[in-house]
A = this chain, B = another copy of it.
């Protein structure tokens, strides 16, 4: 993975810091997974992660994702398709409490899921129900696919 040396010079300490902040040991796999998430702005599916990080065992990648979710680094984005996608958590997420109030947009053309962090999920008042959190996924055609058309 020599071709990544330059990137690492710049960002390695940042990723390291993110891991430490969330009480995670600093390992090659975790750094590489983090790098993938920070370098793309959109959510990544397990399939994509497996494809892009072939060097690591599938099991290790699953465990990496799961510990990231446990510790508040990533959040799982449910998807009708079955296989979930994952997105970077806001600064505020910790192992104790995830708080994601942003909207997710899934493009039916390119298939990508964006975290629209500047749009928060509208509150619905449900008498009798006790709401802990909510998840809004909007389907349609994303900005770039719309432009490309």
Contacts and interface: CB of A to CB of B under 8 A. Distances in A.
B119 A141 contact: no
A128 B141 CA distance: 9
A78 B80 contact: yes
B146 A130 contact: yes
A55 interface: no
Q: How many copies does the complex hold?
A: 2
A116 B142 CA distance: 28
Contacts of A136: 121, 124, 134-137
Interface in A52-111: 76, 78-80, 82, 84, 103, 105, 108
A131 interface: yes
Interface string A106-149: 00100000001001011010101111111111111111001000
Interface size, A (range): 20 to 34
Contact of A82 (B84, B126, B135): B84
A37 to B, nearest CB: 18
Contacts of A133: 138-140
A142 B9 CA distance: 50
A146 B132 CA distance: 13
Given A124-B138, A129-B142, A134-B139, 9 more contacts: A78-B80, A105-B126, A116-B126, A122-B124, A129-B140, A131-B138, A135-B138, A136-B137, A137-B137
